[in-house]
Amino acid sequence: MTQQEHAEHHGPGFQAYLVVFVALSIFTIISFVVNYYVRASAITPHAGFAIILGVAVVKAILVGTYFMHLIVDWGKLYFFIFPTFILGAMFIIVLLPDIVLGWPHQGHVPSPRISSAAPQPEMPVQAGHSGK
């Protein structure tokens, strides 16, 4: 195995991990600062949500590509992602009748009790009341 082939099989080096760690730390600080400004009413909650969501997406991409080694195994990712999407879609389609039929419709009246002779639970006696 040549030096180039050996280096090709390994993922990012230690320096890349440190750079990603520093970037993740900075993005986390940005999230906390934006949260502080939202609580101080310096920016609107919707703008803060959009900023924090964008930061979270960037952090997820960094973690996925470097720490989960997707940057070197990108070709293998398709063999995992496509079956997952297909199974997810099938799962939704299979459960859709249960979701729709179980949804409380407007004007839905719950079913009455089957038997009125069912024993009623006793009410607990509160302190200071004799229960009579």
pLDDT of residue 87: 94
User: What's the domain count of the chain?
Assistant: 1
| Model confidence pLDDT, tens digit, residues 99-110 | 777 666 666 666
3-40 tens-digit pLDDT: 555 555 566 788 888 999 999 999 999 999 999 999 99
Flag the least confident range among 21-35, 49-63, 79-93. Answer: 79-93
User: Is 4 within a domain?
Assistant: no
- Flag whether 30 is in a domain: yes
Q: Read off the DSSP letter of residue 79.
A: H
Q: Is residue 131 part of a domain?
A: no
Residue-range definition of the domain harbouring residue 44: 13-81
Q: What is the pLDDT of residue 4?
A: 55
For 30-49, give one letter per residue: b (16+ CB within 10 A) or e.
bbeebeeebeeeeeeeeebe
Is residue 6 included in any domain, yes or no? no
Contact 38, 48 (CB under 8 A): yes
Query: Residue 8's pLDDT is what?
Result: 56
Residue 64 lies in a domain: yes
Q: What is the pTM of this model?
A: 0.53
Assigned domain for 25 exists: yes
* Domain assignment present for 109: no
* Structural domain contains residue 39: yes
CA pair distance 20, 23, nearest whole angstrom:
5
